[in-house]
Chain A
Amino acid sequence: MATNDSTTNVKRLQVRRYKPEENPETHYLNQEKGLWAWLTTVDHKKIGLMYLGAIAFFFFVGGVLALLLRTELLTPARSFMDADVYNQVFTLHGAIMIFFFLIPAGPAVLGNFILPLQLGAKDVAFPRLNLASFYIYVIGAVFTLVAIFTGGVDTGWTFYTPYSATTGGNVMAMTFGVFILGFSSILTGMNFIVTIHKMRAPGITWNKLPLNMWALYATSIIQILATPVLAITLLLLTMERALGIGIFDPALGGDPVLYQHFFWFYSHPAVYIMIVPGFGVISEVISTFSRKIIFGYWAIALSSLAIAFIGFLVWGHHMFTAGQSSLANMVFSFLTFLVGIPTGIKIFNWLATMYKGSIDMKTPMLYAMVFLFLFTLGGFTGIMLGALSVDIHLHDTYYVVAHFHYVMMGGMVMAFLAGLHYWWPKIFGKMYSEFWAKISLGLLFIGFNMTFLPQFVMGAQGMPRRYFNYIDQFQSFHQFSTIGAYVMGVAFVIMAGYMLHSLMKGKPASANPWGSRALEWQTSSPPDLHNFHHTPVVINGPYDYHKPMSEFQLGIATSHNGHGHHDHETVNVPKTEKEQA
């Protein structure tokens, strides 16, 4: 199948080489002018950037909340905020970071920008739905802000019943906000699945799909299968609070553990919505900076799908101590170990890709290596928590907190930053300072481990999570952890600094500064509003570094610029492939 159109199996295309234009005069950032054009754009790249702005804002808010929490924990009992305020702050930190940062960070920001470029498409399949997904996200965010300013929420990000059905504050606005947010996530997933299926450029068969696409594909499948269950869960919870329908409330005859089943049926797969796009980024970065074909292409591609599937079988490991039947406990504990297999396959293949490659220690590559280190630690501690007997001891302690942050911050945030630094020249057409980027990364790595390594020890010794107070023996751990958090804060300030500097005064980036073979680098930086001036044609895999660059810059040879519809020109043009101008 040469193209998306399957009416003929073999189709001959006349191709020629298109070298990407260096530093183009017009590109997607300046082709439409004015704020209104930005707010109503249906261009996937601009929508991705608007998402980037939104998640950067929420990452800042969530980060400040985290620093407040850590500051409060410098001393036992009250340092500067009350216990009630503390409860609200950790709830908001969790809810904002998960629902407003981690979930959109992979698909909606990096995915939105890169996916059509890597497929050689002009846009996603449903651009208007894509814009709608952004505004739905904004509406969800507004509801959350309303919740914060009208009483706050102190349930923890999990909204467990019966507490969430009876506590004060404005839980309803918050759950309704997250409910709305789910639709945004569903629309993104739907768009990506259809785009990957129907809009690949000529020559991109399933075995030439970049691994980032496989990762986003797996993510989208989780999004569309799991998110509706979150929607119904939160709707039932909202009705529980509004009317007292009793399905989850034991006071009315309901079962609170059933709520946890519903919630984790979404929320466990949701952690894979957060991390799997990161896996895709890491695959791209490691291959590019090792100058080497990816090791085990199909193993990495299929392990993404395997993770997506197994992720649906293990939700009960969050409920080992919640009162579910011991049979379910055993089954869930066993199934949880299975997740380690595809993840291990990925780590192995990445390391094998690096082996004997000519590794270039640019910032994105360093981020990828930090990811490998931290994520492996996070993964192993996850296996420990999945073991039933160990979890009974460690459940709801700081050990869980540390594990989660190693996986999510050490894993996903590092992978996201790797992707952001990797595609930054493509997105903005500017380079950033390698020096300051490496300083910032070094501080981040040190600060991260200072913050979360002590929490493993604390947790194993019995420090419960979400507690405002603690006994004196934990104070030195807590203080060390807090200092680590400040170091991370400094690292992020430096990052914001050099990124702003790059936007204002950065050196212009070339079309392909890393010498990558992937399709998104074969157009100008920043790309044209319609991504390519031609219809790209792909004959090699995205990681074939042993083949010359000229074979990666092909497009259908036509007189027009590839816009509009010109069926007669793309069909049955008798000519051999591989002919370069």
Chain B
Amino acid sequence: MSQTSSTEEKLDHLKHYFVDSDQQFEASKLGMWVFLVTEILFFGGLFVAYIVYRAWYPELFLLASEELDAFWGMVNTFVLIGSSLTVAMAIRSAQLNQIRGLIINLWITIGLAITFMVIKYFEYSEKFAKGIVPGSAYSYEGVAHEKANIFFSIYYMMTGLHGLHVIIGIGLMIWLVIKAKKKVFHSGYYTPVEITGLYWHLVDVIWIFLFPLLYLID
């Protein structure tokens, strides 16, 4: 990259306080990784709550997870992994200067993310109808454990915050599409695509853990 002669390299994106494109790219990527560290510890808090309560009440988790549909959980896992693939393909397109491919891959990713949220919506509404709601309004009698509300509080907090991240991700992708259409990205500058991709993969990784921990207890 740094070997590209500076005459033909487009440098509109380079901020004045960086020496060159590489320094700027490395800095942005490092910044994103630092941010991902905070994301991991943010969700980490919820995982701690999960582990503590599961260690206390293993039978509760066994009973309550039967209310969750493993089939739709699996479908959603496939959907998210597929979207991770398309994001990786989008980054590849940007690296190769294929702006059309970049935009198409981003649109597929957005589509998959929306599919994920739609499935989540049907899962939530099915539970709400039964009276499985987060908080003190919980009124479902089907789980024979006095702390059933706690399991579902943890479930809603974890999947809810994850869903929020998916929605933020959709917003970021749309922003990327708009910028790509304005021909901002090229093989010498695709930093926002790369770091949004990192964010999206992390959202995927978190779901990879949520799926077996919540849906697959037997």
Which residues in A have some Cβ–Cβ distance to B below 8 Å? Answer: 3-5, 7, 121-123, 125-127, 186, 189-191, 193-194, 197-199, 224-229, 231-233, 235-236, 239, 242-247, 252-255, 258, 261-262, 530, 563-565, 567-568, 570
With a cutoff of 8 Å between Cβ atoms, the chain A residues found around residue B30 in the complex are 193-194, 197-198
Which of the listed residues B17, B23, B137, B147 has the most CB atoms from chain A within 10 Å of its own CB? B17
Nearest residue, chain A, Cβ from B41: A228
Please encode chain B, from 16 to 54, with 1 for each CB lying within 8 Å of some chain A CB and 0 for all others: 111110110011001100110111011111101100110
Nearest residue, chain B, Cβ from A195: B27
Pair A225/B146 contact, Cβ less than 8 Å: no
Distance from B106 Cβ to chain A, minimum over Cβ atoms (Å):
23
Pair A121/B17 contact, Cβ less than 8 Å: yes
Please encode chain B, from 185 to 217, with 1 for each CB lying within 8 Å of some chain A CB and 0 for all others: 000000000000000000000000000000000
| 23 A-B residue pairs with CB within 8 Å | A4-B19, A5-B22, A121-B17, A122-B17, A125-B31, A190-B31, A194-B31, A194-B34, A199-B27, A224-B38, A228-B38, A228-B39, A229-B44, A243-B134, A243-B135, A243-B137, A245-B156, A245-B157, A247-B153, A252-B150, A253-B146, A253-B150, A568-B6
Which of the listed residues B18, B30, B49 has the most CB atoms from chain A within 10 Å of its own CB? B49
Cα A189 to Cα B31 with chains together (Å): 10
Select one of A7, A247, A252, A568 contacting B49, CB under 8 A: A247
Pair A239/B31 contact, Cβ less than 8 Å: no
With a cutoff of 8 Å between Cβ atoms, the chain B residues found around residue A252 in the complex are 136, 149-150
With a cutoff of 8 Å between Cβ atoms, the chain B residues found around residue A229 in the complex are 41-42, 44-45
Distance from B24 Cβ to chain A, minimum over Cβ atoms (Å):
9
Known contacts A190-B35, A229-B42, A243-B134, A565 near B11 by CB under 8 Å? yes
Known contacts A199-B27, A229-B45, A224 near B37 by CB under 8 Å? yes
Distance from B33 Cβ to chain A, minimum over Cβ atoms (Å):
9
Pair B150/A127 contact, Cβ less than 8 Å: no
Distance from B61 Cβ to chain A, minimum over Cβ atoms (Å):
14
Pair A246/B34 contact, Cβ less than 8 Å: no
Please encode chain B, from 131 to 162, with 1 for each CB lying within 8 Å of some chain A CB and 0 for all others: 00011110000000011011001101100010
Distance from B181 Cβ to chain A, minimum over Cβ atoms (Å):
23
Nearest residue, chain A, Cβ from B30: A194
Q: A228-B38, A246-B135, A567-B19 are in contact. List 5 more A-B contacts (CB 8 A).
A: A190-B31, A229-B42, A243-B135, A243-B136, A247-B154
Q: Does B14 contact A (CB under 8 A)?
A: yes
Cα A53 to Cα B44 with chains together (Å): 35
Cα A245 to Cα B35 with chains together (Å): 28
Pair B14/A5 contact, Cβ less than 8 Å: no
Pair A258/B17 contact, Cβ less than 8 Å: no
With a cutoff of 8 Å between Cβ atoms, the chain B residues found around residue A190 in the complex are 31, 34-35, 38
Cα A255 to Cα B56 with chains together (Å): 11
With a cutoff of 8 Å between Cβ atoms, the chain B residues found around residue A7 in the complex are 2
With a cutoff of 8 Å between Cβ atoms, the chain B residues found around residue A228 in the complex are 38-39, 41-42, 44-45
Pair A225/B41 contact, Cβ less than 8 Å: yes
With a cutoff of 8 Å between Cβ atoms, the chain B residues found around residue A121 in the complex are 17
Cα A262 to Cα B42 with chains together (Å): 11
With a cutoff of 8 Å between Cβ atoms, the chain A residues found around residue B153 in the complex are 239, 245-247
Nearest residue, chain A, Cβ from B40: A228
What is the total of A-B residue contacts with beta carbons within 8 Å?
129
With a cutoff of 8 Å between Cβ atoms, the chain A residues found around residue B150 in the complex are 246-247, 252-254
Nearest residue, chain B, Cβ from A563: B16
Cα A530 to Cα B149 with chains together (Å): 57
Known contacts A232-B42, A232-B45, A246-B135, A253 near B2 by CB under 8 Å? no
With a cutoff of 8 Å between Cβ atoms, the chain A residues found around residue B156 in the complex are 245
Select one of A123, A194, A254 contacting B17, CB under 8 A: A123
Cα A4 to Cα B24 with chains together (Å): 11
Cα A415 to Cα B211 with chains together (Å): 49
With a cutoff of 8 Å between Cβ atoms, the chain B residues found around residue A247 in the complex are 49, 53, 150, 153-154, 157
Known contacts A5-B19, A231-B42, A247-B153, A258 near B49 by CB under 8 Å? yes
Nearest residue, chain A, Cβ from B39: A228
With a cutoff of 8 Å between Cβ atoms, the chain B residues found around residue A245 in the complex are 134-135, 149, 153, 156-157
With a cutoff of 8 Å between Cβ atoms, the chain A residues found around residue B6 in the complex are 567-568
Cα A245 to Cα B2 with chains together (Å): 53
Pair A232/B146 contact, Cβ less than 8 Å: no
Known contacts A233-B45, A252-B136, A126 near B31 by CB under 8 Å? yes
Cα A530 to Cα B16 with chains together (Å): 10
Nearest residue, chain A, Cβ from B45: A232
Known contacts A197-B30, A232-B42, A565-B11, A5 near B136 by CB under 8 Å? no
Known contacts A5-B19, A262-B48, A193 near B41 by CB under 8 Å? no
Select one of B38, B146, B157 contacting A239, CB under 8 A: B157
Distance from B7 Cβ to chain A, minimum over Cβ atoms (Å):
10
Known contacts A190-B34, A253-B149, A254-B150, A565 near B48 by CB under 8 Å? no
With a cutoff of 8 Å between Cβ atoms, the chain B residues found around residue A236 in the complex are 45, 49, 157
Distance from A224 Cβ to chain B, minimum over Cβ atoms (Å):
5
Distance from A121 Cβ to chain B, minimum over Cβ atoms (Å):
7
Nearest residue, chain A, Cβ from B46: A232
Cα A29 to Cα B11 with chains together (Å): 30
Distance from B133 Cβ to chain A, minimum over Cβ atoms (Å):
8
With a cutoff of 8 Å between Cβ atoms, the chain B residues found around residue A193 in the complex are 30, 34
Distance from A273 Cβ to chain B, minimum over Cβ atoms (Å):
14
Q: Which residues B74-110 have CB closer than 8 A to chain A?
A: none
Distance from A236 Cβ to chain B, minimum over Cβ atoms (Å):
7
Pair A5/B27 contact, Cβ less than 8 Å: no
Nearest residue, chain B, Cβ from A245: B153
Pair A258/B52 contact, Cβ less than 8 Å: yes
Question: What 9 A-B pairs are tightest by C-beta distance, nearest first?
Answer: A243-B135, A244-B136, A232-B45, A228-B42, A245-B153, A122-B17, A228-B41, A228-B38, A198-B27
Pair B34/A224 contact, Cβ less than 8 Å: yes
Distance from A240 Cβ to chain B, minimum over Cβ atoms (Å):
9
